[in-house]
Amino acid sequence: MVADRLPRAALWAPLVSVALGWPTGAGAQAPAAQRPADSTHGYEVLTKGLLGGPPLALQFRTARVRLVIRNLIMGPGSADSVPIPMRVVMELRGGALTARINGKTVEHFPGDFWVLEKGSAVSLQNRGDVVVIRAIYVLEGGP
Amino acid sequence: MRRSFPSGLALAVALSAGCIDRSWRAYGYDHRHFSRQPNEAILNASSAATLHVNWDFPIPAGGSFTASPSAYGNTIYIGGLNGVFYAVWASGPNQGTLRWRYPPAVAPSPGDACATTTSPMLVSGSGNPSGPGIASSAAIVDAVAGHGAVVVFGAPDPNSNGGDGRVWAVDAATGQCVWKSPVIAPASGTAKIGYSSPVVAHGRAYIGVSAKYPDSPITTGRLFAVDLATGALDPAFAFSAIGLAAGGGIWSSPAITPSGNVVVTTGNSCRHFQNGAASCASPGPIPSPDYTNSLLKLDWHSGSVLWQIQPVHIDWDWDPDWASPPVVGQVSCGSLAISVQKDGYVHAANIKTGGPFSNPACSYAGHTLDCPRWSFPMAPSLPFQQDGHGDTRFLRMGALDGDHLYITAGGLNLTEIAPTDISGNAPGRIVYNRVYSLNCCSSDVDRIRWILDLDGVAGAPSVANGVIYLGTSSGRLYAIADTDVLPSTSSVCSYPNVAGGVTCFNGGFRNVPVPVVIKQLTLNGSIPGIPAVSDGQVFVATTAGHLYGLAP
């Protein structure tokens, strides 16, 4: 079930809360079962230019690993200083995206996967109308 | 009318007003498919607010309408999926009552030119509401073969091999059959006349055929030209959407360009069944020629392809049939052919050229593909080289009023797959209930004029005097005031499910005006077709088999 005592969680809880859509503090106490995706108005601003949809959380039963999955969307334009509070697997679901990661520029196309390490310096530029990213945040628990 | 008019001029105006044609003669109003009534004198943003059911004609003994009504000579014409074509009085003391039906309740004696009986026009085998009876909307043509106006539509012949598909011409006043065409969709084959409605030009009716049972098997799309004087097929006109393998069914109704050529859309190929569906005789290979999943301009005389737009690469053909008919017309920035593909992308092409021929990024080997003039949502490059262009069911034609297009669209970019549960059940959030007003001649970033979210899957719109009429799958008929007629009082985010205001803005999206809904009526049954606007009434047909006359 849920890691109701993630020892390091409190250190970066505010940042995680923004990236994962959790209420500060109470977020770490969220149940392991998925939250139903809000069908309307479920998006929030992660950083200027980037919105995050309702998160779905999954706690591994046999490992201290928790996944949080959410859609990220961008309208025309760019998003700088994208928060990467933990390792995250990204999949470009739709649109055309240019990512600048730790100073390196990569163009992504629908179907591309890539991994961002915690704390990476990331900016994203939407080359088209709408970008839809599937983001899987990986929370690895303490010992 | 100004009081200062000289009496003679006033008389002339009055006389000319009396000659104004307020009929709605065909699917999408006429051969251009604007779905706009230019001569409506009664219905406007003020009077439409009092719309109510003036009369209701239910199919006797039950049935269903998926065709759209046509209006001519104080009569509404429409065929039902029960295989009966109805002419219903539109107004006057008999409004809402049957004028005639075809086949008639009593067979003609002596027999007529069509060997008419009383059997309904049905063909066995139909996997969607394009059958088993009449889904083809009617076109009304003046003066054919010694008759006055005749009604032309496609339907199965109950007296020919259990429902061979033919084009029919029936006297608009009497219901007497004038002629029936040779068979264009043999009942023994894989095709039928489905939703395709005849478009009239050059003394011909152009009409297509689609799969008798959708994708099972896929059929070869063909377009025919029928001589209106005789009902004979024009032997000089031939269009087939594909070579050896099946594909490219024509579910849509063709339109006619300003120069008289034919624009049509086609369905999918067998390519996406390459992993073994039995419904395709030759799955897998890329067909040649390949006119599937395309918007095509054809020479009106020969049927030869003048240009083709195929926005989805055939390797990503996961059934994005192009089933919505095209709208063609001259807008302030030129002449465009506009249609929405089943994946939700709207494509607008320069009618003359199909698009800028000089852009190599828009073409791929083996094709004369050219960029459309614009796409909505904006597509960085075409054809799409990505998966997911599938059966997402954007099927309804738009309406065009000047530069303003009203259409239900979305596109994959507006289709996120929501993580709904941990079992992999992710139905996504494909938005079928969002009607847009798009500016045909703006820049891409200013394309959207307004957005309205409806209560169900949107049907096809019509427009008159700045009021848009639109039905939904839940049986709601909307009368919507364009923002040029009534100013908007609210806004919505251009991306679905994102709250308007700051969140929308900070996501890089636009806060877009919402038009004023001036009237909603709940009718019996879904409303997939086009509400016809004629002489002070809106005529609406439903899948529950009701034909309504709505009046202020």
Q: Is B301 inside a domain boundary?
A: yes
* B289 and B217 within one domain: yes
Of A37, A77, A127, the CB nearest to B418: A37
Distance of alpha carbon B81 from alpha carbon A100, whole angstroms:
57
Q: Looking at the 3D structure of chain B, how many domains does it have?
A: 3
The C-alpha of B426 sits at a distance from chain A's nearest C-alpha, in angstroms, of 10
Distance of alpha carbon B189 from alpha carbon B42, whole angstroms:
48
Structure tokens at B128: 């969607």
* Confidence band, pLDDT 50/70/90 cuts, at residue A79: very high
Of A43, A79, A93, the CB nearest to B498: A43
Contact A48 B412 (CB under 8 A): no
Mean pLDDT over each residue of chain B, to the nearest integer: 87
Of B444, B494, B506, the CB nearest to A48: B506
* B517 and B503 within one domain: yes
Say whether residue B377 is in contact with chain A using an 8 A CB cutoff: yes
Q: Is B15 inside a domain boundary?
A: no
Amino acid, single-letter form, for residue B68: S
Contacts of A80 in chain B (CB under 8 A): none
Of A34, A75, A128, the CB nearest to B507: A75
Q: Is B506 inside a domain boundary?
A: yes
Domain residues for B177?
69-157+166-182
Say whether residue A49 is in contact with chain B using an 8 A CB cutoff: yes
Q: Is B32 inside a domain boundary?
A: no
Amino acid, single-letter form, for residue B280: C
Contact B444 A74 (CB under 8 A): no
Question: Residue A9: in which H helix or E strand, if any?
Answer: helix A9-20
| b/e per residue B145-168 (b: at least 16 CB within 10 A) | eebebbbbbbbbbbbbeebbbbbb
DSSP string, B429-451: ----SEEEEEETTS-GGG-EEEE
Contact partners, residue A11, CB within 8 Å, separation at least 6? none
Contact B419 A34 (CB under 8 A): yes
* B222 and B111 within one domain: no
* B537 and B513 within one domain: yes
**φ and ψ at residue B242, rounded to 5 degrees:** -160, 165
Query: What are the angstrom distances between the C-alpha of B130 and each of B134, B136, B218, B272?
Result: 7, 8, 15, 23
CB B222 within 8 A of CB B191: yes
* B251 and B380 within one domain: yes
Which CATH number fits the domain that encloses residue B538? 2.40.128.630
CB B219 within 8 A of CB B249: yes
Strand partners of residue B400:
B405
pTM of the model: 0.87
Say whether residue A52 is in contact with chain B using an 8 A CB cutoff: no
CB B459 within 8 A of CB B482: no
The C-alpha of B136 sits at a distance from chain A's nearest C-alpha, in angstroms, of 36
* B446 and B389 within one domain: no
Structure tokens at B177: 């059959």
> Looking at residues B271-296, what average pLDDT do you find?
69
Query: What are the angstrom distances between the C-alpha of B31 and each of B67, B258, B471, B486, B532?
Result: 16, 10, 22, 30, 15
Distance of alpha carbon B462 from alpha carbon B155, whole angstroms:
25
* B367 and B241 within one domain: yes
A30 has pLDDT over 70: no
> pLDDT of B442-490, one tens digit each?
888 889 999 999 988 899 999 999 999 999 999 999 999 999 999 999 9
* B393 and B277 within one domain: yes
Contacts of A48 in chain B (CB under 8 A): 506
Q: Is B213 inside a domain boundary?
A: yes
Say whether residue B379 is in contact with chain A using an 8 A CB cutoff: yes
CA nearest neighbour of B292 among B403, B389, B176, B361:
B389
* B388 and B245 within one domain: yes
Contacts of B380 in chain A (CB under 8 A): 95-96, 127-128
* B393 and B311 within one domain: yes
> Looking at residues B60-73, what average pLDDT do you find?
96
For chains A and B, what is the number of CB pairs under 8 angstroms? 105
Max avg pLDDT among A121-135, B41-55, B398-412: B41-55
Query: For chain B, how are helix, strand and coil distributed in percent, rounded to 5?
Result: 5, 35, 60
ipTM over 0.85: no
* Confidence band, pLDDT 50/70/90 cuts, at residue B414: low
CB B152 within 8 A of CB B139: yes
Say whether residue B391 is in contact with chain A using an 8 A CB cutoff: no
Tell me which chain B residue has its CA closest to the CA of residue A111.
B386
Which CATH number fits the domain that encloses residue B105? 2.40.10.480
Q: Is B23 inside a domain boundary?
A: no
Contact A109 B386 (CB under 8 A): yes
* B282 and B140 within one domain: no
> pLDDT of B330-386, one tens digit each?
898 888 999 999 988 999 988 887 765 444 444 443 334 445 678 888 776 788 877
> Looking at residues B262-277, what average pLDDT do you find?
76
* B309 and B194 within one domain: yes
Tell me which chain A residue has its CA closest to the CA of residue B429.
A39
Distance of alpha carbon B100 from alpha carbon B215, whole angstroms:
36
Contact B429 A69 (CB under 8 A): no
Domains and CATH numbers, chain A: 9-140 (2.60.120.10)
Of A69, A77, A96, the CB nearest to B380: A96
Contact B378 A129 (CB under 8 A): yes
Q: Which of B118, B148, B182 is at the close of a domain?
A: B182
pLDDT at B213: 85
Distance of alpha carbon B234 from alpha carbon B92, whole angstroms:
40
pLDDT at B417: 47
> Looking at residues B142-171, what average pLDDT do you find?
94
Contact partners, residue A7, CB within 8 Å, separation at least 6? A142
Say whether residue B312 is in contact with chain A using an 8 A CB cutoff: no
